[in-house]
């Protein structure tokens, strides 16, 4: 999780947290516990891990150490990029229906 937080903050993607504190707040972790989380005194809850995966599109299996890739191939985009891709797909479907 700590690697994910560092990576996300470094990306400066629109819609993603810009700081460690902001990331922790967005996943429901108290930012005041950042030091304890870094030192292993406290851990992340399953709900916080799932929230981080939902926020970033990160591979939960990577977070738990079961896979080598931080993101699945279809999840490497920012939330805004995924939304844009979804809109494009809907537009394509509408064009097909208009032709009928």
pLDDT band at 76 (very low <50, low <70, confident <90, very high): low
Residue carrying the six token digits 């809850």: 45
Cα 74 from chain centroid (whole Å): 12
The total of structural domains in the chain comes to 1
pTM: 0.67
pLDDT tens digits, 2-53: 999 999 999 888 888 999 999 999 999 988 888 899 898 999 999 999 999 9
Rounded to 5°, angle at Cα 68 from 62 and 74: 70
Q: What are phi and psi of 71, to 5 degrees?
A: -125, 145
Q: What is the Cα–Cα distance from 4 to 49, expressed in whole angstroms?
A: 10
What is the residue range of 36's domain?
A: 2-99
Give, in order, the Cα–Cα distances in Å from 66 to each of 7, 40, 52, 59, 63: 19, 20, 17, 10, 8
């Amino acid at each position: 999780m700590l690697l994910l937080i560092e990576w996300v903050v470094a990306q400066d993607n629109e819609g993603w947290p810009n700081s460690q504190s902001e990331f922790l707040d967005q996943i429901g972790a108290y930012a005041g516990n950042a030091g304890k989380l870094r030192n292993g005194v406290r851990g992340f809850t399953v709900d916080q891990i799932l929230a981080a995966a939902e926020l970033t599109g990160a591979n939960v299996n990577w977070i738990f150490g079961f896979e080598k890739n931080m993101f699945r191939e279809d999840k490497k985009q920012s939330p805004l990029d995924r939304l844009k891709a979804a809109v494009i797909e809907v537009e394509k479907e509408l064009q097909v229906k208009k032709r009928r």
